[in-house]
Structure 1
Amino acid sequence: MSRFNSYNSLQRLNSLNFNQQNRFYIGVDVGTGSARACIIDSTGAILSICEKPIIREELKPNYITQSSSEIWSAVCYCVNSITRDSQIDPNSILGIGFDATCSLTVLNLENDSPVAVGPNFSNNNQNIILWMDHRAELETNEINSTDFTGLKYVGGKMSIEMEIPKIKWLKNNFPNNSTFKNCNFMDLPDFLVYKATGINSRSYCSTVCKQGLLPKGVDNSVDGWNKEFLLKINLSELVENDFKCLGGSTNKTGIFYSAGETVGPLSEKAAEELGLTTNCLVASGVIDCYSGWIGTIAAKTDLVIPTLEKQNHDPSLNNSMDKAIGRLAAVAGTSTCHVVMSKDSIFVPGVWGPYRDIMAPNYWLAEGGQSCTGALLAHILNTHPAYGELSKLADASGISKFDYLNSVLERLKLERNERSVVSLAKHLFLYGDYHGNRSPIADPNMRAAIIGQSMDSSIEDLSITYFAACEFIAQQTRQIVEAMTKAGHQISSIFMSGGQCRNGLLMRLLADCVGLPIVIPRYIDAAVVFGSAILGAVAAEDHTGLKKVPSRKPRVSTLSDRPGAVSPYTAPSATASVTNISAMAPLTFIGQEGGFPFPIMTPMAEKNEFDFSTEGNSSTDTNTNTNTNTNTNTNAYNNEHASSLKFNRPSKLNLSSAPLNSADKLWTVMERLSGVGRVVLPGSVDDPDRKLLNVKYKVFLDLANKQREYRKMVDEVESQNKL
């Protein structure tokens, strides 16, 4: 189905007239192990969320596959579930957005049937090569041995986890070449949009970040795909019929979108499977970490951050994507991705990108990362002799292991008469690149090192080692930020997301090591799927404009002035500006009682004005057991209101070009829906803890440099020994 075939479907929406207060949007996030969906209202409040596991198959080491059929089935299950549980009339759901892992999906060009991707090619149902699949080592090395200029936009060389190496492996290993020539190769987010609309489009996010496409004008690119490069690496089939196997060229037959641009309405088949209607518009999707960027960096803040205040009050930046420049999104989980936007192309050694147009036309994004952060903390805990004792004590206390370790650190500070928690680990130096280094060293051979470790196997030793691991994460974040800043980025703040946000000690260390404010979003665990829902809301702008949500007045304060604080690193007040989980008011589902399945920040109430000027009252302001944004009257979302929809798209539809001001449109919706985030401010430059952390940063850098120096010395002598 071409882009233009959707015109009649879109025109039908003109006869609908939607009430502006009854508009809802769905976000879908497909991760490595599960699919999730959430539904939000026009204030950005999440009304329901559902998650369903998905299987990955590994018949041989490093050969990891999934099924697009199973994934779509899981997506349909989740979307049907959230619509049912929230009791929202499907006619009122106007937009849907998708994000997913950057995994290669292979379909038959003629009939869209799944094509087996190996290793034995006997199961067509297994038609996705997962991002973490490392089968294409030989192909990756061959690609990186070329002088293709486009490689400079992916850090100088393609990663084994990108998709052109995987496609080249398929050509080398398919039972016959006719199968390869008849394949439709697409990234998983683009597949989901294709399933939803029937329109064979591509996102700049997927094709630029993971497949080597250069948008028109970048390095004199015309077609997007580089013919000479593909021929040089023996992939001539991808060039045929104007790059049909890759979705076409940007100059002629292809359909390419930046994030959130409207691809079209749900097809009748997809609408039936999802339990929605063809009134729902589908946004162009993104890779999952970029959805985390969308779901975090537009948050307002409960404390004043001067650099952000200057942006927010600059009339020239009103409703402009330029406000996003300098806000670094850190999407944290097992690993952490660091995403930052710029107006110009900025090349950073060891950082992927810059990528143009992937989020908005004519804007560039760069992506750094740490290969293991959450995994590092888990490894430090799991391998310590005191882990079993920790599990029992934390369970008995009814708190998380990290909160228990934080309390042990606070006790040790008093017992040992240390100046602060930071000084407890002053002579322990932990370098934590257990799984190689992605940024900024970009060396997969980097490994961990610990200096100052004793034979102590107590829980006290575990707590200090855990602190050192947190310190490493923070110091390496500083290293990445400094590399980006040296190259030309002007970073003003870090917007975090993921479960690590709950750890007040880690957030304080990040702020003090990097010397920047840390902003924690409205939704901690749901930032990525929330970002996809924002994409759905952007697409739904073609129905009608969003209702403006009143902004909060920032409260001038610091973390240290909160009553009852014991330590800025370990006491509950360490996360008072982030989230107090035990005091978090449960969000009531529409038409039913019960708590939300994960901690969230309370949605912004619909009032004329918000006054945060009173000191020390943040728990009262943010944890009130009310939800004025959520209409608990189920009858409010019936067909009577849905029949009042109005479609505001221009009468002459031109789907061949990006919507007018699409960048600013995306930013405006992000600002309206993101709500208020909590801030952790760094200590003053004269703070003793920051002085100590600055000295230890020098040790951190030396550990990284010495490791490579030592390896080089050993490799040189070993090469001589082999002669």
Structure 2
Amino acid sequence: MRQRRQSRSLLSIAQQRMMVSLGIEQKMIYYVGVDVGTGSARACLIDSMGNILSLAEKPIQREELKPNYITQSSQEIWQAICHCVKCVVRDSEVAPEKIHGIGFDATCSLVVIDGEDEKEIAVGPDFTNTDQNIILWMDHRAGKETEEINATNDKCLKYVGGQMSIEMEIPKIKWLKNNISKEQFDKCRFFDLADYLTFKATGKETRSFCSTVCKQGLLPIGVEGSQDGWSEEFLNHIGLPELAENDFEMIGGSVQVEGDNKNFLSAGAYVGALDESVAQELGLPAHCVVGSGVIDAYAGWIGTVAAQTDIELPELVKKDSAKKGIDKATGRLAAVAGTSTCHIALSKDPIFVNGVWGPYRDVMAHGFWCAEGGQSCTGALLAHVLSTHPAFTELSHLSDAANISKFDYLNSRLENLVQQRGERSVVSLAKHLFFYGDYHGNRSPIADPSMRAAIIGQSMDNSIDDLAIMYLGACEFIAQQTRQIVEKMCDAGHDLSVIFMSGGQCRNGLLMRLLADCTGLPIVIPRYIDAAVVFGSALLGAVASESFNAHQHKSDLRTRRKSSLTVHDLPDVPGKAGFLGKLTKQAPDMPSPYTAPHATSSTSQIASTSSGYPFPIVGSTTTNKDEMPDSPNEEEPVSFKTVKTNAEGFLHDSQTNGDQLWNVMHNMTGGGKVVQPRSSDDPDRILLNAKYSIFLDMAQTQRKYRQAIDSVESKLKG
């Protein structure tokens, strides 16, 4: 188990004193975020200014008894969540009664329970082990079922990239029907993992549009004439009529269009207060409310795209001046990077892009559409290139001796090679290396799982210098493919002007520079590099909490939430506005363990091993923040827009929930560092443009060659 602990040292001494003098410390509100990834559960606790005060992580297991059969346990995941939430409450030293909201995100995995007693149902291949009741997103058992579903060419497939992926949930449900008894199948209740977590927390079967629209084929009311959300015709056609029975009870029911108790919600909309027994398990108060959950990559979008940058971006200022509310999020591409990378963009209108999933309506906000592109392997690609090269062991020794990461060592090595070889720049070192890196197939924009890697320009050089240049080629490939995805999306109608990154790849200055120069777009590095996703989940809890109206709700909850004050409720004293502005607008200048480069060297360390280093290094700043704000009217204090609530005091108006989400994101996300592209006439930009044409040709030629050989093989077989 790996945990991180952080106290209030996040704020400077002067800021803490100011908070005490203003009474902020006593009136602060707190929220918890939970992120369940493939290998671990995480939790964080944030305050109402967006500061992460504590973060905890606990591994979770996955079982693979047969190839492509990968399962997990919902019990183990829930226990890991409870452990992490208790840890962050303890480590933050925050009184539990001050925690008013919690949000969940998770992988798109299928959870199966008994609809009557809510006990786990085994999903195989060992059907005697009910503990294994989750089919993990990366499970590929349902190949035949996926082909059968896609052969229908149903209209709902149009909104999931033209065909369902083997990793989506409906093919997995169809596989289960084919492999368990009818009696057992009829007992099943199916959840996306994030929706299961909100169900576990509240006891309510409310589902998110994020999971059902993006991964299960639900069409919101009005899309393609949809009246119920789910298509009974489609479910009958693919051999799953059971899912349509009792008003689609097994998959969450039909979409209600009237009334307050909606069973499908957009991101962060209020689901309910914590069940009292669950509150005890989590160590949270029963008045803590739960926001509608999202898929993990979408939490990364929430946690990054509202960042206020350290330098002004005219691209955003010009567009934002004509927009209001959640509309300001359109045109901002979130690149959520890890083993693979997801690219998520919001638009006011449905935009269809070949090779890009979606458009998905209502996922983030009512009436707005999301598109999701992706690269099958990015972090995994870099790891593969390094680990398979003959010089990998030497790289490990050298980077350990220098006390820096392997990537930082290679970046500095490339700088030295520029001097040794008399090249113009690092980019020109790989001018004759043409690296196409789809080792694991192509997700976007070709959407061809049969794509593979191709490298032109390799020699028999096995040195550490050759490894450095191969690594450079892999970074260039990631950046060129990102450009290809961005161009395809823009050609189809998206107006993308900035890329908001998240994940550990943000620390790789070389990769960030290449992304900016290949795409021609500014790259924004978030305040919370490693915690952007779990931070986004905490914002879901804040959205649900901010929709709460303490004066209209039931008296018992009103009493328990009597300290529910937002930042604009703080006493109006001289200097308050400027101080709050410093805290919220200038957040990236506050040292934080979640932006510190734990696997990266300091700038001074790199300087000692390199003759120069033009790539940005992202980490904690050393700026002195002990000075008091010198302008009391420098910034406006944080305040959240008042929105219409229902009779219980909670926001259910789907028309306004998107703006509520944006207000929370804008006021709490903090800042980001910008990597600007070089000018279009820069020699490196010109070289990368020329190599982009070759990159496109390599992709096209590979498919052409494969088709030619397949044609020959089919004739030989015939």
Amino acid in the other structure paired with 1:346:
I
Q: Report the equivalent of 2:619.
A: 580
Q: Shift of residue 202 of structure 1?
A: 0.3
Distance 1:605 1:324, change over 3 A: farther
- Displacement of 1:43 in angstroms is 1.0
Query: Match for residue 458 of structure 1?
Result: 463
Q: Letter of the aligned partner of 1:180 in structure 2? A: F
Deviation string 1:262-284 (CA, Å, 9 cap, x unpaired) is 10110101100000111101000
Question: Aligned residue for 2:196?
Answer: 191
Aligned residue identity for 1:115: I
Which position in structure 1 is the counterpart of 2:697?
Answer: 702
CA contact 1:267–1:278 (8 Å) conserved in 2: yes
Is 1:360 matched with 2:360? no
Of residues 272, 280, 283, the one that matches 2:288 is: 280
Structure 1 pair 122/385, CA: closer, same or farther in 2 (3 Å)?
A: same
Change in Cα spacing, 1:103 to 1:564, as seen in structure 2 (3 Å) is closer
1:675-705 deviations in Å (ceiling 9; x for gaps): 1100000000100000000000000000000
8 Å CA contact 2:265, 2:292 repeated in 1: yes
Q: Which residue of 1 aligns with 2:263?
A: 255
Equivalent runs, 1:400-479 vs 2, <5 Å: 400-479=405-484
Q: Measure the CA separation in 2 of the matches of 1:516 and 1:118.
A: 46
Aligned-partner residue type, residue 146 of structure 1: T
Secondary structure of residue in 2 paired with 1:317:
coil
User: Could you say which residue in structure 1 is the equivalent of 2:138?
Assistant: 132
Contact 2:587 / 2:671 at 8 angstroms: preserved in 1?
no
The answer to whether the Cα contact below 8 Å between 1:54 and 1:70 also exists between their aligned partners in 2 is yes
C-alpha change, 1:152 and 1:654, in structure 2 (3 Å) is farther
What residue number does 1:622 align with? none
Q: Secondary structure of 1:661's partner?
A: helix
Change (3 A) 1:604 1:168: farther
- Alpha-carbon contact 1:505-1:570 (below 8 Å) kept: no
Aligned to 1:499: 504
Alignment match of 1:547 (pick from 567, 586, 591):
567
Aligned to 1:486: 491
8 Å Cα contact 2:375-2:444 kept in structure 1: yes
Q: 1:395 aligns with which of 393, 397, 400?
A: 400
Alpha-carbon shift at residue 659 of structure 1 (Å): 5.1
Q: C-alpha displacement at 1:706, in angstroms?
A: 0.3
Question: Which secondary structure does the structure 2 equivalent of 1:341 belong to?
Answer: strand
Is 2:55 the counterpart of 1:49?
yes
Q: In structure 1, which of residues 268, 275, 279 is the aligned counterpart of residue 276 of structure 2?
A: 268
- Structure 1 moving runs of 4+ over 4 Å: 551-555, 562-566, 569-573, 583-586, 602-612, 647-651, 654-657
* Aligned twin of 1:639: none
Paired with 1:695 and 1:87, the residues of 2 have a C-alpha distance of 55
Q: Distance in 1 between matches of 2:394 and 2:209?
A: 49
Using the alignment, how far apart are the partners of 2:57 and 2:536 within structure 1?
A: 16
Choose which of 182, 186, 204 in structure 2 pairs with 1:181. Answer: 186
Q: How does 1:687-698 map to 2 (within 5 A)?
A: 687-698=682-693
CA offset at residue 311 of structure 1?
Answer: 3.6
| Deviation by residue 1:443-482 (Cα, 9 ceiling, x = unmatched) | 0000001100000001011101100000000000000000
Counterpart residue type for residue 83 of structure 1:
V
Q: Does 1:525 align with 2:530?
A: yes
| Separation (CA, whole Å) in 1 of partners of 2:36 and 2:153 | 35
Distance 2:61 2:473 in 1: 35
Contact kept? 2:644, 2:651, Cα under 8 Å: no
**What is the aligned partner in structure 1 of residue 80 from structure 2?**
74
Change (3 A) 1:435 1:664: same
CA gap of 1:405–1:172, structure 2 versus 1, over 3 A, is same
Encode CA deviations 1:392-442: one digit per residue, 9 max, x unaligned.
000000111111101111011011110111111000000000000000000
State the partner residue of 2:318: 310
The residue that corresponds to 1:95 in the other structure is 101
Asked whether the equivalents of residues 499 and 521 of structure 2 are also in contact (C-alpha less than 8 Å), the reply is yes
Distance 1:610 1:701 in 2: 52
**Which residue, out of 63, 74, 92, partners 2:69?**
63
- 1:289 is aligned to 297
Q: Deviations over 1:491-537 (max 9, x none)?
A: 00000000000000000000000000000001000000000001111
CA positional deviation for 1:241:
0.3
Q: 1:546 to 1:605 in 2, by over 3 A?
A: farther
Q: Render the CA deviation track for 1:527-584: whole Å, top value 9, x for unaligned.
A: 00000001111111034574265264899xxxxxx99999xx99555224xx235x56
Distance in structure 2 (CA, Å) of the matches to 1:335 and 1:392: 27
CA distance in 2, matches of 1:487, 1:604: 49
Give the alignment of 1:493-642 within 5 angstroms: 493-543=498-548, 546-547=566-567, 549-550=580-581, 552=585, 572=613, 574-576=615-617, 579-580=618-619
Q: Aligned pair in 2 of structure 1 residues 603, 259: CA closer, same or farther (>3 Å)?
A: farther
TM-score by length of 2: 0.86
What is the TM-score when the length of structure 1 is the normalising length? 0.85
Distance 2:491 2:627 in 1: 37
Unaligned runs of 5+ in 1: 1-17, 556-561, 587-601, 613-628, 630-646
Q: Measured at CA, do residues 461 and 609 of structure 1 come closer, stay the same or move farther in structure 2, by a change above 3 Å?
A: farther
CA RMSD of aligned residues (A): 2.8
The corresponding residue for 2:555 is: none
**Sequence identity percentage:** 62
Supply the AA of the counterpart residue of 2:338.
Answer: G
Q: SS at the partner of 1:435?
A: coil
Give the Cα–Cα distance (whole angstroms) in 2 for the partners of residues 305 and 720 of structure 1: 57
Describe the SS at the equivalent of 2:690.
Answer: helix
